[in-house]
Structure 1
């Protein structure tokens, strides 16, 4: 069945600052956007009446260039919007300071496995009627200063709701905020409720109605990661809305107190600005949502500790199986598990796949990855050699260089337990000096180990390269600093392709890990007293080395049939569960129909 996007009533609006839909369409930077794209694909597969909103980034995130020493430079992404998107005639506007910012939107239709479509609208401020500053608000993803970022969030949240109304979406019952960037949509909904009641300021009854419509997913496991903006910025952006909340109403006054995280009620926004108060976007979204969730069970616990006053559930992330399963494994599943695309849970039958066919599919994926390595770097890696993969955003807490803590130990492992090679990828944010330093350290280790352990760093990590890496390596490595991994999804993608993980027990791996069955852990579980203690890098590196030397390499080279059993369990146990089909079904029952 094929459906036109506007021929079906939509009840769920999904807002995300970034959404990854195509490799050459730079509407994403990393995990948040990839998750959003996979969520929308699963919604289309499930015939969910959803519509999605994001911003159009004409300059994208950035193209990564790496020098011979690993120094990263960034270049704007060159792409033609109308090669991918269709402009809609609808227009909307939002107030920025004392001017009106005009918006248009572009549509992308995500088609599900049975032809059902979910429309995704990208808001665009690049119109001649707007000032240069305003036109650039949909220029770069995560670019500019804090004020620029706030204005972008005004466009996403307030402009997004107004554009949906202009497009005729008037039956929406749920507004899903994928992280706090979209939190300002709740203010627009409050304004709508007040206007219906013939008022210009917000009271308690408006708050309750809006709270019943909003769903909020938080992805950030540390307080410092949540967006905060000085109230002075808000008074600058909205000079005509200083009395937006009726502070004589107890519920409204309490809401303002919570989102400002003030110890006592404030007399108004100007008073709060004079006191140097700031708006916490996560608190805004938490306070105005009927359902709030973290993105893994461990992350739910962490979030409840950060925000004990709010009931926070957990829906563990997933990945879109049809997207992240490589062609060789798709063909294998189509042959033996023909319902796997419609029913991801049927992948549990992977335990019955012929082992020789699983290995043959894996070798095809591995050869494809090594061909990418050859094309990008000129290096010819050996397909017979055990290959470790690590591809994440290059930033401190992800610790890409943990495996490189002791180069002599790596040389000895390669000599005693069997040869191995490592393929890295990942971008550092342009302002993340520490992340850039990590890439530099990997390059130094690459040079030092060139005769013993081949190391490759593939530049400009994107959707396509992510697919090649998660399907083509023999082992997926993940070494975040506990408890800073909210979920992580790269290991889920690897599992769909029979690639087991070696990972710190954080994020999704707390749930997906069965030692020696779906993969292996680094270190011990971190629960109870002392679980928040700083990571012991030396001890965790030693655990990594020990598992690699004593268990994983001997299994790969000496007991291939047992290694294949782990591969098949990774598909059957983790691939069948950690997917967005299951995840979206949980959102439907727990959040959308609540």
Structure 2
């Protein structure tokens, strides 16, 4: 089913001792193996950076001379042999968690996981932020646990935008084309060598869709692509940008994802047992499933019952704008020829996605469609489940808020992808043999007390120093790109930030509700905190505002204009073009992770979970996952919700709380050192954070909950062994 010619040609180009590197390079397993730093990077560190950490492109561009040198280096060949051995062992493993918990499950009928974005690695630009990283981590843990799962998404020619700040600190955007042949992906072809292709009708034209396969360990991700020469020029751009264009583009993309995605699985002979819609973008799966069942003779009610048993839905945001809704006129444009295939009229069709079914002007809401036709629905934290029940109570007349059938599974992170190699090696030595196979066992993480304070601290300091060096380099590049004076570029490389002082990180999408400017609500008080000579503090920021979000761009500008104060020039830095690579450096290197959205708009959040595995402490609003994780000795909680809905008063209250915590708790604790120069209380909090948060907020636990509580209707999980799960409280031993 795959076109392997490219792989063969690439393999033949390598000296014989290195040819198996092609197999590893074309499987994103390499992104979470501890060996990932050495084998590809050490080929040519400068080239590795210029190839944007893409091993396939690396193997294409590296000189044959260098390859022959490496093929005769015994130390390097030993590294390659170990990597290939580990890869083969992983891919052939049969005794997995899923093999025990899903005994009797029909492996020929996997779970199909649909998402508009997947964040696997910076080399594959199919993500924008948290939703994508969560989806990528879901696939990685599914692979680790051996869960039979395939995934479906879109392959974006230009991905999400790249970001620059101009001389006025205003965000500008630009796009670059990806060469799909240079990515670790494979065009899917039939036995005759022709690409697998399906058609969907969009704007009264038949659009041809092809599919590429991405190997994610033992899981296959299929990415749909309309950029074909036999498509209309407009239709070739459907899969050009992630979250770009207008409503026409968005609905076109979601038709491709849901309808063409299901047709492509059928075309390839894949018959899923469960369709998991990760956010409402994929909800058109339901229409296609209804069409299939009604084509077999079922009426709408009976077809709906059948479809409902095979579909599950996860909602990710309590922000109304995050739930796609299309006007009736737009639905007419795109679906007027589709609803006759369901045997229904326009009114009945539009009612499938309407909150108020008797309102002819109500928008067609993708979340509503998914809720109506899913066997189970869940939010991504306990609080988010509660908020979602309130938001959508209108769909369940006669039920109280508590009776609305929307549960929750709290998000986690794929620890193997986000733990720094330095900490991974430390965990290997102190947490016990094969600790990573028992990621959700609290007893494993209780062994963090075995780590000597001195060792934990020097490793953390080394990661902070690396973060400072990385930030200096990136800021210098940005200044050079703006044609700033060379002395200003050099200053970034030598004077910006200090590797020995308290470092706070803030990195996320610059939406207004995330309140990036809360830290500067009182500019003078903030100035006093960040310009102190006796207890110095520095701030590293990163993140993008959506191209159409003028207020979000203004937030970036306001914070960076404040940072131009002479006393802050070397204490505040902004890293442009936030991506997974930058995120890893930040979450692994900061001392404190700042998160201060408006309540209750943080559905879950996972960046703070990433820093916990790397020894940093969270300073956050009690919202999303942090409500479940905070215990008073593993980080700090900012403010509390005040009565009423006065946004300005709430912002003021939270800002004052933030300043007070920094001045009276965070900063004094960090600089309280013993005779050895160690902040003993701080280190104790680091260990408490790791001990309490790591076993809960990982995707091994999360995916296991999906298997046992969400996918279970199609799984042969014996009822006697099926745990009753309640969000992040699940403590099963993997």
TM norm. shorter chain > 0.5: yes
Q: Deviations over 1:31-51 (max 9, x none)?
A: 110100000001000000000
Instruction: State the partner residue of 1:562.
Output: 681
Count how many residue pairs are aligned between Structure 1 and Structure 2. Answer: 568
The structure 1 segments of at least 4 consecutive aligned residues displaced by more than 6 Å after TM superposition are: 252-255
Residue 50 (structure 1) aligned with residue 129 (structure 2)? no
Structure 1 residues 449 and 403, CA, compared in 2 at 3 Å: closer, same or farther?
A: farther
TM-superposed CA distance for 1:532, in Å, is 5.9
Q: Is the 8 A contact 1:324 1:467 kept in 2?
A: yes
Instruction: State the partner residue of 2:128.
Output: 29
Instruction: State the partner residue of 2:366.
Output: 281
Residue 361 (structure 1) aligned with residue 459 (structure 2)? yes
Partner Cα distance (2:296, 2:230) in 1? 30
Instruction: State the partner residue of 1:313.
Output: 407
Matching residue within 103, 107, 110 for 2:209? 103
Q: Is the 8 A contact 1:411 1:449 kept in 2?
A: no
Task: Name the stretch that deviates more: 376-385 or 53-62.
Answer: 376-385
Instruction: State the partner residue of 1:496.
Output: 613
Residue 195 (structure 1) aligned with residue 301 (structure 2)? no
Structure 1 residues 326 and 208, CA, compared in 2 at 3 Å: closer, same or farther?
A: same
Task: Give the 5 Å matches for 1:383-402.
Answer: 383-402=499-518
TM-score between the two structures when normalised by the length of structure 1: 0.91
Q: Is the 8 A contact 1:69 1:443 kept in 2?
A: no
Partner Cα distance (1:349, 1:255) in 2? 57
Provide the alpha-carbon RMSD of the alignment: 2.2
Partner Cα distance (1:2, 1:554) in 2? 46
Instruction: State the partner residue of 1:267.
Output: none
Partner Cα distance (2:410, 2:252) in 1? 31
Structure 1 residues 193 and 589, CA, compared in 2 at 3 Å: closer, same or farther?
A: same
Instruction: State the partner residue of 2:388.
Output: 303
Q: Deviations over 1:421-447 (max 9, x none)?
A: 000000111000011001101111111
Partner Cα distance (1:452, 1:149) in 2? 41
Residue 179 (structure 1) aligned with residue 263 (structure 2)? no
Instruction: State the partner residue of 1:519.
Output: 635
Partner Cα distance (1:92, 1:224) in 2? 31
Q: Is the 8 A contact 1:449 1:455 kept in 2?
A: no
TM-superposed CA distance for 1:184, in Å, is 0.2
Partner Cα distance (1:539, 1:239) in 2? 51
TM-superposed CA distance for 1:471, in Å, is 1.1
Q: Deviations over 1:67-121 (max 9, x none)?
A: 232111111134221222110012211122332211111111111xxxxx10001
Task: Give the 5 Å matches for 1:375-524.
Answer: 375-378=473-476, 379=492, 380-413=496-529, 414-415=531-532, 418-448=535-565, 450-451=567-568, 454-515=571-632, 517-524=633-640
Structure 1 residues 52 and 564, CA, compared in 2 at 3 Å: closer, same or farther?
A: same
Task: Name the stretch that deviates more: 359-368 or 546-555.
Answer: 359-368
- Aligned-partner SS, 1:20: coil
Instruction: State the partner residue of 1:550.
Output: 664
Structure 1 residues 47 and 525, CA, compared in 2 at 3 Å: closer, same or farther?
A: farther
TM-superposed CA distance for 1:254, in Å, is 7.7
Task: Give the 5 Å matches for 1:197-236.
Answer: 197=297, 202-236=299-333
Instruction: State the partner residue of 2:140.
Output: 41
TM-superposed CA distance for 1:261, in Å, is 2.5
Q: Deviations over 1:480-539 (max 9, x none)?
A: 011111111110000010101001111111111111x1100100267xxx4766361111
Partner Cα distance (2:172, 2:392) in 1? 38
TM-superposed CA distance for 1:417, in Å, is 6.9
Unaligned runs of 5+ in 1: 112-116, 265-271
Partner Cα distance (1:4, 1:143) in 2? 40
Instruction: State the partner residue of 2:78.
Output: none
Task: Name the stretch that deviates more: 347-356 or 473-482.
Answer: 347-356
Partner Cα distance (1:88, 1:468) in 2? 35
Q: Deviations over 1:316-354 (max 9, x none)?
A: 111100001011111111121242322212334323322
Instruction: State the partner residue of 2:84.
Output: none
Matching residue within 423, 436, 443 for 1:341? 436
Partner Cα distance (2:262, 2:385) in 1? 28
Partner Cα distance (2:135, 2:143) in 1? 13
Partner Cα distance (1:121, 1:452) in 2? 46
Instruction: State the partner residue of 1:590.
Output: 709
Q: Is the 8 A contact 2:200 2:207 kept in 1?
A: yes
Task: Name the stretch that deviates more: 454-463 or 329-338.
Answer: 329-338
Task: Give the 5 Å matches for 1:83-94.
Answer: 83=182, 84-89=184-189, 90-94=196-200
Instruction: State the partner residue of 1:350.
Output: 448
TM-superposed CA distance for 1:383, in Å, is 1.4
Partner Cα distance (1:3, 1:196) in 2? 39
Q: Is the 8 A contact 2:339 2:349 kept in 1?
A: no
Partner Cα distance (1:136, 1:253) in 2? 31
Partner Cα distance (1:389, 1:319) in 2? 18
Partner Cα distance (1:306, 1:322) in 2? 35
Instruction: State the partner residue of 1:130.
Output: 231
- Aligned-partner SS, 1:138: coil
Instruction: State the partner residue of 2:221.
Output: 120
Q: Deviations over 1:530-551 (max 9, x none)?
A: 4766361111111001111101
- Aligned-partner SS, 1:260: coil
Q: Is the 8 A contact 1:502 1:521 kept in 2?
A: yes
Structure 1 residues 122 and 451, CA, compared in 2 at 3 Å: closer, same or farther?
A: closer
TM-superposed CA distance for 1:451, in Å, is 4.5
